[in-house]
């Protein structure tokens, strides 16, 4: 997800059970909604129409979620997310003077920068993350551009091919580097 999409998520945007009430996707998913009025000023770039009726979000950019994401969400909400925050945002500041306030994109960028320095990866910026995730998704789709497009939230399969379909995506050295970054190798 893009940093604005992630920091702009509201709790109601997550439909983490199969056959959610929105009826728009059978699998667990979330709705990325462009909300210019978020208290943390996070905005999704995608401006697809969306609405909330009876507490159920429909529309927006629908992204499927993994079982690991569902597990992580429930762990986060039951152990760390403050109750009664009043703003409805998913990601919140957990420490310091702003505890309980929505996590702003600038905070996410700083955290990624610090993590990159600690891991000796150099400068890590949010725009790098969608590329890494989409490369992984492209391979998981066995090169099927339509599956990769839908999994990554792209509007065009041609864009997926243009950006991620080149030879370095399938380079074993490239994949070894990604596995190291993701902590899959020792």
Element (H, E) at 160: helix 157-164
User: How confident is the model at residue 99, as a pLDDT?
Assistant: 87
Task: Tell me the per-residue pLDDT of 100-118, one tens digit each, with 9 for 90 and over.
Answer: 899 998 888 888 788 778 8
**pLDDT surpassing 70 at residue 47:** yes
- Mean pLDDT, residues 70-88: 87
User: How confident is the model at residue 107, as a pLDDT?
Assistant: 85
**pLDDT surpassing 60 at residue 164:** no
Q: How far, CA to CA in Å, does 117 sit from each of 95, 113, 114, 132?
A: 21, 6, 5, 18
Tell the residue number behind the tokens 């509201």, with chain if given: 10
Per the prediction, the chain carries an average pLDDT of: 79
Please tell me the least confidently modeled range out of 4-18, 77-91, 130-144, 171-185.
130-144
Task: Sketch the domain layout of the chain as residue ranges.
Answer: 3-79, 127-181
**pLDDT surpassing 70 at residue 157:** no
- Mean pLDDT, residues 79-88: 85
């Amino acid at each position: 997800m893009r940093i604005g999409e992630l920091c702009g998520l509201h709790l109601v945007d997550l439909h983490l059970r199969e056959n959610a009430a929105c009826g728009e996707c059978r699998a667990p998913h979330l709705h990325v909604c462009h909300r210019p009025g978020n208290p943390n000023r996070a905005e999704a770039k995608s401006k697809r129409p969306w609405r909330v009726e009876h507490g159920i979000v429909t529309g927006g950019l629908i992204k499927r979620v993994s079982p690991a994401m569902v597990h992580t969400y429930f762990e986060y909400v039951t152990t760390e997310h403050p109750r009664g925050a009043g703003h409805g945002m998913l990601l919140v500041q957990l420490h310091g003077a702003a505890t309980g306030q929505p996590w702003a994109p600038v905070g996410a960028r700083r955290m990624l920068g610090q993590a990159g320095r600690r891991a000796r990866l150099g400068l890590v910026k949010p725009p790098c993350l969608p590329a890494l995730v989409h490369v992984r998704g492209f391979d998981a789709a066995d090169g099927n551009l339509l599956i990769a497009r839908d999994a990554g939230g792209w509007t065009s399969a041609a864009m997926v091919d243009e950006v991620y379909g080149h030879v370095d995506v399938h380079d074993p050295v490239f994949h070894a580097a990604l596995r190291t970054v993701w902590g899959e190798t020792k």
